[in-house]
């Protein structure tokens, strides 16, 4: 039987870049096939070709052994292909039912048959076992539910080849479990699933086979040691181990991608741990008022270059938050989505006005009412949503790097210091190894990892005392991740207070000296690196009343 989908020497050339170079591999019906590679390896391009958005500049696709060339996305849809992107393609103002049948609504003479529509939608949603009212507006659904609607939409169109592009990047743990159940269900039904993700855990949990791309070239296709598929292995080759996958992706072995090195200068060794008992979840379960939560905090440290946050209140926080970060410390914030971590960083940075609470650095009280003040005080933020809050997509790498520092370096505070900006952009891109043809390249043409490095470069151009990193490695490949961890460690070693927010447990455990767990708008506990484990963090992060574990 021919494979459901075969890529045959597919190439794609953009001006100046060969995005794909003769990539060939097969995806079989009834299997979940992982596609991995660093950013810029060509995964997205491959999906675009599959979806019919780009015609390949060389090679061809075959579906069930039949060579196909799609002229547009409509042809790919008709051929049974659905690509589910990170940014979902649903109309928020329309109902679930209308979205499911968008483009082919049941109709008589152009008038939509509402009853037939509702009925058909209900059937489709039942098929994937999702309990959503088809009349709900998509805009009112959670991200996870929208993903389910997107899958149901693909199925209503009779898709048999379904590709997912980073589907879990903004889902909660529970929603991820739900999604996996449905993807496995798709496999049972004989769909060919192509699954793109950076998350190694997911790939090893879910997928049967894997194809690895690097720099647009096919590096390896192999079997994964899947656990409970019940599907006989498709080939007899040895399954790839995690290390082998990483090694093939980056072309080298990464012993410890977090590059964690204990730093002697940590102001908290001894004092913090001896003085303040770690707050546990149980403290809060008793409903102890924590307005004076500074009692749980370590006493003033010997380190005078510390950031002290005392009773910070504002939108998104349920209780005043207090903590201290020493110079040279990496302080992690873990929690579920919506626990208030990003909000806390925004309050610290002055992007959202705080209602009360004090921020002290080096013993000096800071008045921060806008990001501008924060930057002047040496507090900088790498925001969570790179595209929306970080980069200015239509401007060059150079301009994005100098966006903030130019206020300081301009002559008479008004006129751009061109030479300085050029030098700074060149030096920073070299220092952080930003992959770009030139500093005049538009930043939107860079991969996610390189965009993140540009934002870091923006802040390294300033005098930084405290750096706030909100999900700094989201959607970034392993190689770039490792580089960003190194930058974090270097910053800490040079005496910067590093505060990092992450939803990835291994990451937060890997990089942090101490970890604060946030739950429902408050700090539930602060743990030291030595005592923090995945189980502890998760337990602390889960909401109290329900305690629904995944």
Partner 1 sequence: MATAASSAPRKPIAEFFDQAGMLVVLAILFIGCSVFVENFLSWRNMQGLALAVSMTGMVACTMLFCLAAGDFDLSIGSVVACAGVLAAVVMNKTESITLGVAAGLGIGALVGVANGYVVAKLRINALITTLATMQIVRGFGFIISDGKAVGIGVEDFFSLGSSALFGVPTPVWITAVCFAIFGFILNRTVFGRDTLAVGGNSEASHLAGIAVDRVKIIIFTAQGVMAAFAGIVLASRITSGQPNTSQGFELEVISACVLGGVSLTGGVGSMAFVIAGVLIMGIVQNAMNLLNVATFYQYVARGLILLAAVLFDRWKRRKQCGTRGI
- Give one word for 221, left, alpha or beta, with left for phi > 0 and alpha for psi -120 to 50: beta
Min dist. Cβ of residue 267 to partner 1 (A): 28
Binders of partner 1 among residues 13 to 42 (CB under 8 A) are 14-15
Taking CB under 8 A as the criterion, the residue among 370, 423, 494, 550 binding partner 1 is 370
Residue 127 is a binding residue for partner 1 (CB under 8 A): no
Binding segment for partner 1 (CB under 8 A), chosen from 188-196, 288-296, 396-404, 516-524, is 396-404
Residue 416 is a binding residue for partner 1 (CB under 8 A): yes
Taking CB under 8 A as the criterion, the residue among 11, 404, 431, 486 binding partner 1 is 404
Binding residue count for partner 1, defined by CB under 8 A = 36
Binding segment for partner 1 (CB under 8 A), chosen from 185-193, 325-333, 383-391, 520-528, is 383-391
Q: Which of 540, 526, 465, 507 is nearest to 321 (CA)?
A: 526
Min dist. Cβ of residue 448 to partner 1 (A): 15
Min dist. Cβ of residue 298 to partner 1 (A): 30
Binders of partner 1 among residues 434 to 453 (CB under 8 A) are 445
Min dist. Cβ of residue 379 to partner 1 (A): 11
Rounded CA gap, 279 and 281, in Å?
A: 7
Residue 238 is a binding residue for partner 1 (CB under 8 A): no
Q: Give the HSE-up count for residue 101: Cα atoms under 13 Å, Cβ half-sphere.
A: 22
Min dist. Cβ of residue 23 to partner 1 (A): 17
Reading the block at residue 337, the tokens are 């989505």
Burial of 112 from C-beta contacts in 10 A (0-12 / 13-18 / 19+): middle
Can you list the pairs that 524-530 forms with residues at least 24 positions away whose Cβ atoms lie under 8 Å?
524/279, 524/281, 524/284, 525/278, 525/279, 525/280, 525/281, 525/283, 526/278, 526/279, 526/296, 526/323, 527/278, 528/272, 528/273, 528/278
Taking CB under 8 A as the criterion, the residue among 89, 189, 252, 395 binding partner 1 is 395
Sheet of 192-196: strand order equals 81-84, 161-165, 192-196, 31-36, 209-214, 217-223
Q: Which of 176, 86, 100 is nearest to 138 (CA)?
A: 100
Residue 352 is a binding residue for partner 1 (CB under 8 A): no
Min dist. Cβ of residue 309 to partner 1 (A): 19
Taking CB under 8 A as the criterion, the residue among 255, 415, 535, 549 binding partner 1 is 415
Min dist. Cβ of residue 71 to partner 1 (A): 12
Residue 254 is a binding residue for partner 1 (CB under 8 A): no
Rounded CA gap, 217 and 213, in Å?
A: 5
Residue whose structure tokens are 């940014």: 87
343 contacts 351 by C-beta, under 8 angstroms: no
Instruction: Determine phi and psi for 321, rounding to 5 degrees.
Output: -110, 135
Binding site for partner 1 (CB under 8 A): 14-15, 53-55, 349, 351, 370-372, 374-376, 381, 383, 388-395, 399, 403-404, 406-407, 410, 413-416, 418, 445, 458
């Amino acid at each position: 039987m021919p494979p459901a989908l075969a890529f045959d020497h597919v190439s794609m050339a953009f001006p100046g870049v060969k995005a794909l170079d003769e990539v060939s591999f097969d995806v079989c019906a009834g299997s979940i096939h992982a596609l991995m590679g660093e950013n810029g390896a060509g995964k997205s391009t491959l999906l675009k070709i599959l979806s019919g958005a780009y015609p390949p500049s060389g090679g061809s696709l075959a579906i069930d052994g039949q060579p196909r060339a799609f002229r547009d996305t409509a042809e790919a849809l008709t051929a049974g292909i659905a690509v589910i992107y990170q940014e979902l393609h649903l109309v928020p103002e329309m109902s679930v039912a209308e979205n499911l049948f968008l483009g082919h609504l049941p109709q008589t003479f152009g008038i939509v048959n509402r009853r037939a529509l509702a009925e058909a939608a209900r059937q489709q949603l039942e098929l994937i076992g999702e309990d959503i009212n088809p009349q709900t507006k998509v805009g009112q659904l959670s991200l996870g539910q929208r993903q389910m609607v997107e899958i149901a939409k693909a199925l209503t169109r009779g898709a048999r080849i379904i590709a997912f592009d980073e589907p879990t990047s903004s889902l909660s743990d529970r929603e991820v479990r739900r999604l996996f159940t449905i993807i496995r269900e798709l496999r049972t039904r004989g769909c060919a699933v192509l699954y793109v993700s950076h998350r190694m855990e997911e790939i090893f949990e879910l997928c049967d086979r894997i194809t690895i791309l690097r720099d647009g070239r096919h590096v390896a296709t192999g079997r994964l040691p899947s656990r409970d598929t019940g599907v006989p292995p498709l080939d007899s080759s040895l399954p790839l181990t995690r290390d082998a996958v990483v090694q093939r992706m980056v072309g080298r072995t990464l012993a410890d991608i977090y590059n964690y090195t204990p730093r002697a200068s940590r102001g908290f060794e001894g004092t913090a741990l001896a003085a303040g008992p770690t707050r546990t979840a149980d403290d809060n379960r008793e409903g102890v008022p924590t307005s004076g939560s500074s009692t749980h905090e370590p006493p003033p440290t010997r380190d005078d270059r510390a950031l002290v946050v005392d009773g910070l209140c504002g939108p998104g926080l349920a209780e005043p938050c207090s903590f201290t970060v020493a110079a040279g410390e990496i302080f992690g914030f873990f929690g579920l989505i919506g626990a208030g971590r990003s909000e806390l960083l925004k309050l610290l940075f002055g992007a959202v006005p705080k209602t009360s609470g004090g921020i002290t650095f080096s013993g000096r009280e800071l008045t921060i009412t806008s990001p501008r003040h924060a930057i002047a005080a040496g507090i900088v933020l790498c925001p969570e949503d790179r595209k929306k809050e970080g980069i200015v997509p239509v401007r060059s790498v150079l301009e994005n790097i100098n966006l903030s520092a130019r206020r300081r370096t301009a002559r008479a505070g008004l006129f751009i210091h061109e030479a300085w900006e050029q030098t700074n952009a060149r030096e920073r891109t070299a220092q952080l190894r930003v992959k770009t043809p030139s500093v005049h390249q538009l930043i939107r043409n860079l991969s996610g990892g390189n965009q993140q490095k540009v934002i870091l470069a923006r802040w390294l151009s300033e005098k930084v005392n405290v750096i706030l990193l909100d999900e700094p490695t989201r959607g970034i490949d392993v190689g770039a991740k490792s580089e960003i961890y190194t930058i974090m460690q270097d910053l800490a070693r040079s005496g910067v207070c590093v505060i990092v927010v992450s939803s990835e447990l291994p990451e937060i455990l890997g990089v942090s000296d101490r970890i604060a767990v946030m739950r429902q708008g408050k700090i539930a506990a602060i743990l030291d690196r030595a005592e923090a484990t995945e189980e502890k963090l998760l337990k602390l992060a889960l909401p109290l009343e329900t305690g629904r574990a995944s």
